[in-house]
A and B are shown apart, each in its own frame.
Chain A
């Protein structure tokens, strides 16, 4: 798999779930790519540098999302 293919896979999968979910664990992304974590990490890092993905962090846990997707603090059925 090359970078373009990996990006395409991730973007497609994340867009499909966008209605219900905007933040994903690293492992979820590795599963979408069907790669071992170390190999997946290279692709996913490149997607962050290319500003396709962005990090989200609670301080103790990190997640990834499509850039700009989901609000800073999603409403709880309010909007």
Chain B
């Protein structure tokens, strides 16, 4: 029997999509039965109380949660997000219901055993509710008491060899796409660099000294499966410098209907026979492809590596051989200022372990600048807007490049400085007057 009546929440379950309400009810029921005799360390009925408080929020049209607090594990300034209920008498099971962020494995690969161990730990010491995975990429453990935080942290570290992730004004848990482990498009080893930088910058992850959050995300190719271009302060996007590799025989096989386009992903309805002109060549954003006399050609200098043609015909087209990444800076979600996409900083760089060049010429100079100049709660992208893209070039030492400019004014606009101009800004007026009247 449910502890509270929840008519508002029940209504949420009637929509076409799976509902979090059903998940909460399932966990509440499972905890009430406790068929596996778990020694619950937080109130057994916390999920019932959670349903109760969320229902009440719908009834009142206001939240009953308080944000933030002095909770965490000793010595760490992040990884725990304090949440307290403002109706603790009515809902004692969720009076303190903190979230823990757990650093996800690179590329989100799990063994069944590891997943079971995580769930076992969280059923026993937390609510049993998880969010796999949060916007940052972490494993999110939803809801435990203050006393259990150190216990969960200890068990994660000692039994599961697992650290907690980032939150607050520090480096957030770096996250990467599945990369070379399974994806043939990957232009660099996303998992390796993600793991390497996570270890290298442990101090930045756990001890907040930044003006606000900072995110790295690694996408092995411009398909951007972890949306690095929109969601990270420093995005790594795999790319290549040479030609797209074309297998002309396979191109013909697509045209002949032997291979389904997009690997059959749009097979849900009949789109008619594959039309390479209409579906690939005309959709190339830079119009740099042609198909003539049975041969597909790409004019590489014009190709922006948008991935469209490769996605449609993966057996015929492959990314080039000279692989690396483009680095972009300053993306953010719309919290203080509007949403912002990242801006190109490094057009091409080889991504090779131990990543020294990236650390020393990109990451650390940018952090030094932002830590010193950034206002409280100002993201890197906002600082770039405020002080100009030129400052980023100055602190990193990269040269201005036409590829950094999407359009003037709304996007980086680079000015000359006097010492960069031969002869400076002063001129010999008499020499000038020989050619120009007053």
Q: Do A and B associate with each other? A: yes
Q: Are B68 and A59 in contact (CB under 8 A)?
A: yes
In the complex, which residues of chain A have a beta carbon less than 8 angstroms from the beta carbon of B93?
none
Q: Closest approach, in angstroms, between the C-beta of A61 and any C-beta of chain B?
A: 6
Known A55-B77, A61-B168; contact A73-B208, beta-carbon cutoff 8 A:
no
Enumerate B65-82 residues with CB–CB distance to A below 8 Å: 66-72, 75, 77-78, 80-82
Q: Is the interface of B mostly helix, strand, loop or mixed?
A: loop
Give CA–CA (A41, B335) in the complex, Å. 26
Q: Closest approach, in angstroms, between the C-beta of B344 and any C-beta of chain A?
A: 27
Q: Closest approach, in angstroms, between the C-beta of B426 and any C-beta of chain A?
A: 35
Asked if A20 is at the interface (CB within 8 A of a chain B CB), the reply is no
CB closest residue in chain A, given B374: A27
What are the 10 tightest A-B residue pairs by CB atom distance, in nearest-first order?
A62-B168, A58-B68, A62-B208, A37-B371, A59-B81, A62-B169, A57-B168, A41-B209, A55-B77, A25-B376
Known A26-B208, A27-B376, A61-B212; contact A56-B69, beta-carbon cutoff 8 A:
yes
Q: Are A59 and B376 in contact (CB under 8 A)?
A: no
Give CA–CA (A55, B207) in the complex, Å. 9
Asked if A10 is at the interface (CB within 8 A of a chain B CB), the reply is no
List the count of A-B residue pairs having beta carbons below 8 Å apart.
Answer: 84
Give CA–CA (A26, B213) in the complex, Å. 13
Give CA–CA (A2, B375) in the complex, Å. 27
Give CA–CA (A56, B68) in the complex, Å. 7
In the complex, which residues of chain B have a beta carbon less than 8 angstroms from the beta carbon of A58?
67-68, 168
In the complex, which residues of chain B have a beta carbon less than 8 angstroms from the beta carbon of A61?
168-169, 212, 376-377
Give CA–CA (A73, B71) in the complex, Å. 12
Asked if B107 is at the interface (CB within 8 A of a chain A CB), the reply is no
Asked if B274 is at the interface (CB within 8 A of a chain A CB), the reply is no
What is the interface size of chain B, counting residues whose CB is below 8 A from a CB of the partner? 34
CB closest residue in chain A, given B372: A37
Q: Are B209 and A55 in contact (CB under 8 A)?
A: no
What is the interface size of chain A, counting residues whose CB is below 8 A from a CB of the partner? 25
Of the A-B pairs whose beta carbons lie under 8 Å apart in the complex, a sample of 22, sorted by A's number, is A25-B376, A26-B208, A27-B374, A27-B376, A41-B207, A44-B209, A45-B207, A48-B207, A54-B70, A57-B71, A57-B80, A57-B208, A59-B68, A59-B81, A59-B167, A60-B212, A61-B168, A61-B169, A62-B168, A62-B208, A72-B70, A72-B84
Enumerate A18-67 residues with CB–CB distance to B below 8 Å: 25-28, 36-38, 40-41, 44-45, 48-49, 54-62, 65
Beyond contacts A37-B372, A59-B99: 5 other A-B pairs, Cβ-Cβ < 8 A, are A36-B372, A55-B208, A56-B68, A72-B69, A72-B70
Q: Are B78 and A73 in contact (CB under 8 A)?
A: no
CB closest residue in chain A, given B83: A59
In the complex, which residues of chain B have a beta carbon less than 8 angstroms from the beta carbon of A25?
169, 211, 376
Most buried by B among A48, A56, A57, A72: A57
Give CA–CA (A42, B336) in the complex, Å. 29
Give CA–CA (A72, B167) in the complex, Å. 18
Q: Are A26 and B209 in contact (CB under 8 A)?
A: yes
B182-224 toward A: CB 8 Å interface, digit per residue (1/0)? 0000000000000000000000000111111100000000000
Q: Are B209 and A60 in contact (CB under 8 A)?
A: no
Q: Are A59 and B67 in contact (CB under 8 A)?
A: yes
Q: Closest approach, in angstroms, between the C-beta of A78 and any C-beta of chain B?
A: 14
Q: Closest approach, in angstroms, between the C-beta of A68 and any C-beta of chain B?
A: 9
Q: Are B75 and A26 in contact (CB under 8 A)?
A: no
In the complex, which residues of chain B have a beta carbon less than 8 angstroms from the beta carbon of A54?
70
Known A44-B209, A61-B212; contact A73-B169, beta-carbon cutoff 8 A:
no
Known A25-B376, A61-B168; contact A38-B368, beta-carbon cutoff 8 A:
yes
Asked if B145 is at the interface (CB within 8 A of a chain A CB), the reply is no
Q: Are A60 and B168 in contact (CB under 8 A)?
A: yes
B326-344 toward A: CB 8 Å interface, digit per residue (1/0)? 0000000001000000000
In the complex, which residues of chain A have a beta carbon less than 8 angstroms from the beta carbon of B213?
60
Give CA–CA (A25, B212) in the complex, Å. 10
Q: Closest approach, in angstroms, between the C-beta of A6 and any C-beta of chain B?
A: 14
Asked if B44 is at the interface (CB within 8 A of a chain A CB), the reply is no
In the complex, which residues of chain B have a beta carbon less than 8 angstroms from the beta carbon of A73?
66, 69, 84
In the complex, which residues of chain B have a beta carbon less than 8 angstroms from the beta carbon of A27?
211, 374-376
Q: Closest approach, in angstroms, between the C-beta of B208 and any C-beta of chain A?
A: 4
Give CA–CA (A48, B203) in the complex, Å. 14
